[in-house]
Amino acid sequence: MKTDVLVVGGGATGAGVARDAAMRGFSTVLVERGVLASGTTAKFHGQLHSGARYVVRDPTSARECVSESAILRRIAPGYVDDTGGVFVLLPGDDSSYPDRFLPACRAVGVAVEELDPALVMRQEPGLARDVVRAFAVPDGALDAVGLVRACAASAAASGARILTERPLTGLHVDAGRVVGGRLEDGTSVEAEVVVNAAGAWAGRVAAMAGCRVPARLSKGVMVAVPVRLVHVVVSRCRLPAHGDILVPLGASTIMGTTDTPVGDPDDAVADGAAVRAMAAAGDELVPGFSSAGPVRAWAAVRPLVGVGASEPGGRQVSRSHRVIDHGEHDGVAGLITVTGGKATTFRLMAEEAVDAVCAALGSPRPCRTALEELPGR
């Protein structure tokens, strides 16, 4: 098989890269070891981020969420549940945090409005009865699996080949340059550029060419009940910590999440202590959350690549993404890694990765993914 761009990974990022590359006219092959969206994308928390969560500590991520959530509402309305969101300050929370939160929201462009707590508690009867202050922001919920399928369909409509259940097992390196890859079934794919969009597994893919991805892996545990207990995304109004956010997704409500360093991207076990902590955090926001139905628990692993990734303290690390040209990073050309980030910002990540492909191939071509609507369901 011969192609301009070989994309490794069929999560939100890889599907976004395949769509973007194919729409720019590059012949494109995407390989995914499982089915589409079988990695972190299918196991995330479900939130379309307005950016409000990051405004104080991580304004870069916040700005990316502001612009990308607006774009997703435009190009993927069928995959966004525009619930709105509310940040609530509860007794015991740092009462000075809103003094930083409000101006920081305004500085990065998050539309924020202080609400009367009594009104919020009337509109959300399940919510804790002791809300001290409340702020409306444009958070929402995201059908990320639907989005991946739509990106893959759009990529295929532009000529891309989407190969699922086809793990990449090796990269071909010739004279210091990645020139393609080998699939588990023995197929060889010759490529001008390989884009490594393997999420938490990106380090393993890069290692196939002797390259490194400087990321710290962090596990997040989530719990859900099969009842929609709130109408809007509800977040604690405090610096990001464990168990801050309740997302109404479809007919369920998801509470999360944690942030625990792990060494192995396949270490996605939801351990009992974290599950109990998330259930208790849910009960703090919505009393009775954990007894509202059978509690389902799972975990997913995120690669943290932003500023501070080499330091301890996961919540300190920027949730932004990184595009690595391994020619510059490790002296091995032809391999570009795009990792980190959020489902909310997958389109931007893909755009930057394909910009790097254009630069590597000396063939600048404009990105159109923010302009063209994705296919519906």
Which residues of this protein are in contact with ligand FAD, per CB under 6 A? 8-14, 31-34, 38-41, 44-47, 49, 167-168, 197-201, 205, 220, 257, 300-302, 341-344
**Burial 275-302, CB ≥16 within 10 A → b, else e:** bebbbebbbebbeebbebeebebbbbbb
Nearer to ligand FAD by C-beta: 46 or 117? Answer: 46
Record the tokens describing residue 24, joined without a space: 């720019």
Q: Rounded to the nearest whole angstrom, what is the least distance from the CB of residue 99 to ligand FAD in the complex?
A: 26
**Smallest separation, CB 349 to ligand FAD (Å):** 7
C-beta of 47 vs 83, nearer to ligand FAD: 47
Which among 305, 375, 273, 349 is positioned nearest to 68, based on CA atoms? 349
Pick the closer one to ligand FAD by CB: 132 or 210.
Answer: 210
Beta pairing partners, 249: 252
Q: Of the two residues 44 and 79, which places its CB atom closer to ligand FAD in the complex? A: 44
Instruction: Give me the least distance between CB of 346 and ligand FAD, in Å please.
Output: 6
Give the shortest CB-306-to-ligand FAD separation in angstroms. 12
112-135 residues labelled b (16+ CB within 10 A) or e (exposed): beebebeebbeebebbbeebebbb
> Helix, strand, coil proportions of the chain in percent (round to 5)?
35, 30, 40
3 state SS of 6: strand
Least distance to ligand FAD, CB of residue 317, Å: 13
Q: Token pair of 23, please?
A: 């729409």
Structure letter (DSSP) for residue 363 = -
**Beta carbon nearer to ligand FAD, 8 or 360:** 8
Q: Kindly tell me which of 9 and 334 has the beta carbon lying closer to ligand FAD.
A: 9
CB of 45 to ligand FAD, least distance (A): 3
